[in-house]
Amino acid sequence: MSIEQIRITLPNGDVLEMDGGSTAGDVAAAIGPGLAKAAVAAVVNGETVGLAEPIEADAAISILTEKNPESLVVLRHSAAHILATAVRELRPGAGIGFGPAIDDGFYYDFEVDKPFTPEDLEEFEKKMAEVAAADQPFTRRRVSKDEARELFSDDPLKLERLEEFDADEVITVYENGGFLDLCKGPHVPSTGKLVHFKLLSGAGAYWRGDEKRQMLQRIYGTAFHKKSALDEHLNRLEEAKKRDHRVLGKELDLYSIQEEVGQGFVLWHPKGAIIRHTIEEFLKATLLEHEYDLVYSPQIASEELYKISGHLEVFEEDMFPAMDDNGTRFRMKPMNCPHHFMIYKTQTRSYRDLPIRFAELGTCYRYERSGTLHGMLRVRCFTQDDAHIFVRPDQIADEYDRLLDLADYLLTVFGYEYHLALATRPEKALGDPAVYDAATETLRGVLDRRGVGYEVDEGGGAFYGPKIDVNVVDAIGREWQGGTFQLDFEMPERFGLVYIGSDNTPHKAVVIHRTLLGSMERFVGGLIEHYGGAFPTWMSPEQVRVLPVGEQWHESASALAADLKGAGIRASVEGRETLGYRIREAESLKIPYMGVVGEREAADGTVAVRRRGAGKKQEVMGREQFIAAVVEQVETKALG
């Protein structure tokens, strides 16, 4: 009897001769005992597998340790199984759904009579620690479909999933400590690998994400290899809570949403409004510099318009109900595009006129389902930074380049990093797939030429054309939806958007729907969280607060405030209460500059400048110098 030898190629190019059927764990051990101990999982021919997986043929293998991000996914997936193990032990009747690893952790869905309480979660967490301490090995088994049916005969959700497997598909099950799950793995070698974890929340979730199916109870948790990483993650959650725009919006008196006004309708208070105004003025000036034309359109339109655009057909449930005027039905506008198309159509356009760029801070109304509303980030009335660009097919690439330049400029001003994503043709796309794909390649070419990294969202494009999304990354690393630049071949068809070519015949124009900032509501809401309420000076509602030390310096302080205002700075004087009280107040309001005026400053014509968040580190300077410094901050739109 001879065991066949196989050749294992390691990442550094070394080749190991191993017995056929050796496991990835054996490979790790062959490399060294340290690695064997640190190993979490392995990548065999590009596929992540468990360490107990036998290897039958020559293969390229790399061993994953805690240092590889992929190993975290494995750990978290195993954590989900350990959670299910704990729940099954404590609530034997609980049905099990899915339990995957997700971006920041994992979840598991259970079918139970009573939803879980926070106390239940604590109980589960304790039990999980016990399961982990027991160091149960995860064992993997290949089973036939019939065998699997037998194994999961008491788990209707698993049986349902099972029926979706093809007859010849490999079905694997994982077991640890008597808990069995239908699962393709991989897993960590044993439950003992799970040490640093936390259950975070519970909530309902539809079985298979389908709102027509029963609701399961989902438990979210997270896990890390190192305690420090777990702590850091939990701190980040705390930090996110502190930056919540709904909390800061109230504290800083920026906006409110009130029941009497209506769900999802934002009231911009003066301080919020000045922030928005500042951004809008900056944006409009920038658009004019970039050869956009500003347009305005009404917020109500005849339903006929939305019949042409097709919105009534595909978007009606997101629209407010119609208002009827003697048989003419009107709708609050859900999008600006049809209006802009009607402006385009008022003239015969020449190929020489294109590109034509119509921009509008257009207010739209959408009847969002009540459960989706969220502060300023998801509302029912919002003002889009919207534009529709009409181009010839040969101008697409150039125009996308300009858009990416503009997005880069704007987002940099606000201190955002960003990622780009190309979304390609979905299944249900309209029109000629070849046209769609050619356009996609054009966009891909633009991205490639720029030499910037981007993701590809396969099948994520709109039904009418591909798009490039700009996803911004905020100060604490969270991603937000930012700009989106969508190509549209469908609307030009519906609206008959043409231009006269050099051949003196009409040609179909191509439309680019684009937004750079999204909506003012979402953008400002995002900025509140990005800056944690501490806006850069140029956007701050109040830029300088002048604080006289005592009443006798009030006049001198007022003179300084007047000079600041004269220079276009938003400044005020606050003289009541003690200096300490007023400094505390100004710090809580996150005013970027405090100017203290007392006996010395009044005498020398100086001011003691205290910067937001800088504590007692202050600088005494001449008043002209101070004013010039603040003006410079504003003019350069300096961050911080």
Partner RNA sequence: GCUGGCGUAGCUCAACUGGUAGAGCAGCUGAUUUGUAAUCAGCAGGUCGGGGGUUCGAAUCCCUCCGCCAGCUCCA
Measured CA to CA, the distance from residue 476 to residue 606 in angstroms comes to 38
HSE on the CB side for 220, CA within 13 Å? 10
Asked if 449 contacts 505 with a C-beta cutoff of 8 angstroms, the reply is no
Does residue 114 carry a catalytic annotation? no
Rule CB under 7 A: choose which of 142, 307, 565, 584 binds RNA.
584
Residue 373 touching RNA (CB under 7 A)? yes
Of these residues, 158, 333, 513, 514, which one is catalytic?
513
Of these residues, 109, 385, 386, 474, which one is catalytic?
386
Residue 391, strand partner residues: 510
Measured CA to CA, the distance from residue 245 to residue 565 in angstroms comes to 29
Residue 237 touching RNA (CB under 7 A)? no
User: Left if phi > 0, otherwise alpha if psi is -120 to 50, otherwise beta: which for 574?
Assistant: beta
> Would you say the C-alpha torsion 63, 66, 67, 72 has a positive or negative sign?
positive
Measured CA to CA, the distance from residue 203 to residue 117 in angstroms comes to 10
Asked if 452 contacts 421 with a C-beta cutoff of 8 angstroms, the reply is no
Q: How far is the CB of 621 from RNA (least distance, A)?
A: 12
User: How many chain residues bind RNA (CB under 7 A)?
Assistant: 66
Residue 69 touching RNA (CB under 7 A)? no
Residue 153 touching RNA (CB under 7 A)? no
Q: How far is the CB of 554 from RNA (least distance, A)?
A: 8
Residue 618 touching RNA (CB under 7 A)? yes
In the complex with RNA, the residue whose CB is nearer, 53 or 120, is: 120
Q: Residues 156-195 vs RNA: string with x where CB under 7 A?
A: ----------------------------------------
Task: Assess whether the previous peptide bond of 338 is cis (omega < 30° from 0).
Answer: no
In the complex with RNA, the residue whose CB is nearer, 340 or 378, is: 378
Measured CA to CA, the distance from residue 417 to residue 437 in angstroms comes to 29
Measured CA to CA, the distance from residue 175 to residue 95 in angstroms comes to 16
Q: How far is the CB of 274 from RNA (least distance, A)?
A: 20
- DSSP state for residue 634 in the 8-state scheme: H
Residue 594 touching RNA (CB under 7 A)? yes
Q: How far is the CB of 3 from RNA (least distance, A)?
A: 48
Rule CB under 7 A: choose which of 579, 629, 631, 638 binds RNA.
579
Residue 427 touching RNA (CB under 7 A)? no
Q: 459: helix, coil or strand?
A: coil
Of these residues, 136, 217, 384, 395, which one is catalytic?
384
Q: How far is the CB of 511 from RNA (least distance, A)?
A: 15
Residue 209 touching RNA (CB under 7 A)? yes
Rule CB under 7 A: choose which of 243, 366, 514, 623 binds RNA.
366
Rule CB under 7 A: choose which of 165, 296, 409, 581 binds RNA.
581
Rule CB under 7 A: choose which of 34, 100, 115, 622 binds RNA.
115
Residue 248 touching RNA (CB under 7 A)? no
Question: Among candidates 377, 370, 372, 366, which has minimal Cα distance to 248?
Answer: 377
| Piece of 173-181, 207-215, 224-232, 566-574 that binds RNA (CB under 7 A) | 207-215
Rule CB under 7 A: choose which of 103, 211, 289, 427 binds RNA.
211
Measuring CA to CA, how many Å separate 237 from each of 88, 221, 410, 478, 543? 29, 13, 28, 11, 30
Rule CB under 7 A: choose which of 179, 255, 382, 593 binds RNA.
382
Residue 473 touching RNA (CB under 7 A)? no
Measuring CA to CA, how many Å separate 235 from each of 2, 27, 38? 57, 38, 27
Does residue 386 carry a catalytic annotation? yes
Does residue 428 carry a catalytic annotation? no
Task: Assess whether the previous peptide bond of 548 is cis (omega < 30° from 0).
Answer: no
| Residue recorded with tokens 């900025």 | 527
Rule CB under 7 A: choose which of 601, 626, 627, 634 binds RNA.
601
| Piece of 11-19, 30-38, 46-54, 257-265 that binds RNA (CB under 7 A) | 257-265
Rule CB under 7 A: choose which of 50, 177, 461, 518 binds RNA.
518
Rule CB under 7 A: choose which of 90, 133, 203, 288 binds RNA.
203
Of these residues, 243, 271, 339, 366, which one is catalytic?
366
Question: Among candidates 428, 403, 432, which has minimal Cα distance to 418?
Answer: 403
The edge-to-edge listing of strands for the beta sheet with 349-350 is 349-350, 498-500, 506-508
Rule CB under 7 A: choose which of 528, 610, 626, 634 binds RNA.
610
CB atoms within 10 A of CB 184: 12
Rule CB under 7 A: choose which of 176, 515, 537, 540 binds RNA.
515
DSSP string, 156-173: HHHHHHHTTS-TTS-EEE
Residue 316 touching RNA (CB under 7 A)? no
Rule CB under 7 A: choose which of 555, 599, 632, 635 binds RNA.
599
Of these residues, 127, 217, 337, 543, which one is catalytic?
337
| Piece of 183-191, 230-238, 445-453, 581-589 that binds RNA (CB under 7 A) | 581-589
- Cα dihedral: 40, 45, 47, 48 (round 10): 0
Measured CA to CA, the distance from residue 272 to residue 267 in angstroms comes to 9
Residue 466 touching RNA (CB under 7 A)? no
Measured CA to CA, the distance from residue 609 to residue 627 in angstroms comes to 11
**Window 547 to 566, contacts with RNA (CB under 7 A):** 549-552
**Window 264 to 293, contacts with RNA (CB under 7 A):** 264
* Secondary structure element (H or E) that encloses residue 285, with its range: helix 270-289
Question: Among candidates 246, 475, 206, which has minimal Cα distance to 374?
Answer: 246
Residue 421, strand partner residues: 455, 469
Asked if 470 contacts 416 with a C-beta cutoff of 8 angstroms, the reply is no
The token pair at 435 is 């046209």
> Which residues bind to RNA, rule: CB under 7 A?
115, 201, 203-206, 209, 211, 215, 217-218, 220, 246, 250, 257, 259, 263-264, 318, 366, 368-375, 378-380, 382, 384, 481, 484, 515, 518-519, 521-522, 549-552, 576-581, 583-584, 587-588, 594, 596, 598-601, 608, 610, 613, 615-616, 618
Residues with catalytic function: 337, 366, 384, 386, 388, 467, 513
